[in-house]
Amino acid sequence: MGIATVNPTTGETLRTYDAHGNDEVERRVAAAHETFRKYRGTSFAERARLMRRAADLLDEDAEDVARTMTTEMGKTITSARAEAAKCAKAMRWYAEHAEALLADEHPAQADVKDSGADAARVHYRPLGPILAVMPWNFPLWQVIRFAAPALMAGNTGLLKHASNVPRTALYLGDLFRRAGFPEGCFQTLLIGSGAVEAVLRDRRVVAATLTGSEPAGRSVAAIAGDEVKKTVLELGGSDPYIVMPSADVPRAVKTAVTARVQNNGQSCIAAKRFIVHGDVYDDFAERFTAAMTALTVGDPLDDSTDVGPIATEQGRADLEELVDDAVSKGATVLCGGSRPEDRSTGWFYLPTVLAGITPDMRIHQEETFGPVATLYQVGDIDEAVEVANDSPFGLSSNVWTRDDADIALFVRDLEAGGVFVNGMTASHPALPFGGVKRSGYGRELAGHGIKEFCNATTVWQRG
């Protein structure tokens, strides 16, 4: 079976790789297991040295890596460069903070005595080889935000990346090897989705993390549950972007455009449902539609391009189905709604704004993975929260208001893993990231993320 790099800008197959066979997968799983036994005993200082070296190498490779991501999945070269820089930053952050984040925790002495011990503490230990099933949309960042904390904690990693980004996947495996991490510490498995179950069921693989679609998450969670193995899932999102009367509308519009079309609209944390109070709805809708219409759609390797292609032909077809379904049921197309006429090759789709969304439309409940925004008009804050929460997803949320009472209510009532006030959702190594409902469970990044794949060990001692 071949795993191919296909350029979404042209539709051209650039290279096909042979998938790893059973013997090679076995060799790599065995290496991850054997390496863990020794690597877990290395000091934080040694792991940090290796992680900083990997970050330095990534900085040196940044331009080549950015071009690889752009040609494999179509993100603009500007955003690809930013992604590489963000990864290096996160690697250095964990190199600096991992030891403190995993320091022993000491309960109050009165509680220690009450337990009957002379001393007690909580000690964090790594679990072992972790399987990471990762998506194509942020092909570097999604992996690094797992790998940096996992390796700093003393685990080893096995990467099953999306099959349309094999060059990025191979680069990641090579990066940690070049940095000096022991052989087997972090390895790429070039396998299809059908081969994941056997790896996950292997007794030497102790846990899994997945970022991807809800069906993929259900599958991995079911297998891991059957094996009683820990999982962290970051699945889809249909994030609300709420604009209240006190908002700075021009700023809210400018940020809304970026929040919707970042990564060509293919981001779980992209704002997708724009819920606007009636007092400012007309102003917001007019400005937002004009700004979306003005975006430059084109070659993602061109620095002037704002929106590149959808990553796969099937992805564009799925997006078109959602838009066509909404329009057939009465939605109004304020801009876009079709493929660009000047693009005869590649999987492009125009930035689109739809109004008049009703609950019977698929787009009301399903995630739009592309530059398509839906507009809702609401009469008050309670209706805004009701519309925002009327989704199976709960990854993050954005609210625009200068009213402290509004902010307090949104923080209390929005069903999401994050509430970003007067800004757009973003991830940072110091802040936990993850969702609720069908957006998954568990957290990545910060101290929460590094502890997900650690054994919180109670140490009780007398005498």
Q: Count the residues in the chain.
A: 463
324 contacts 336 by C-beta, under 8 angstroms: no
Q: Is 43 exposed, middle or buried (0-12, 13-18, 19+ CB in 10 A)?
A: exposed
To the query of whether residue 268 is one of the catalytic residues in this protein, the response is yes
Q: How many CA atoms lie within 13 A of 347 on its CB side?
A: 26
87, 185, 268, 454: the catalytic one is: 268
Helix, strand, coil in percent for the chain, rounding step 5: 45, 20, 35
Q: The tokens of 8 are what?
A: 């979404």
186 contacts 169 by C-beta, under 8 angstroms: no
> Across the strands, what pairs with 249?
none
Q: What 3-state class would DSSP assign to 264?
A: helix
To the query of whether residue 234 is one of the catalytic residues in this protein, the response is yes
Residue with tokens 């290496």: 31
372 contacts 364 by C-beta, under 8 angstroms: no
Torsion angle (degrees, nearest 10) of CA 27, 33, 35, 37? -150
Q: Element (H or E) spanning 126, and its range?
A: strand 119-126
Residue 379's nearest CA partner among 461, 307, 279, 238 is 279
Q: Transcribe 374-416 into DSSP letters.
A: EEEEESSHHHHHHHHH-SSEES--EEE-S-HHHHHHHHHH--S
Residue with tokens 């066979």: 21
| Encoded amino acid at 344, one letter | S
Which of 99-129 are b and which e, b meaning 16 or more Cβ less than 10 Å from the residue's Cβ?
eebbeeeeeeeeebeeeebeebbeebebbbb
211 contacts 365 by C-beta, under 8 angstroms: no
83, 87, 185, 234: the catalytic one is: 234
The residues assigned a catalytic role are 234, 268
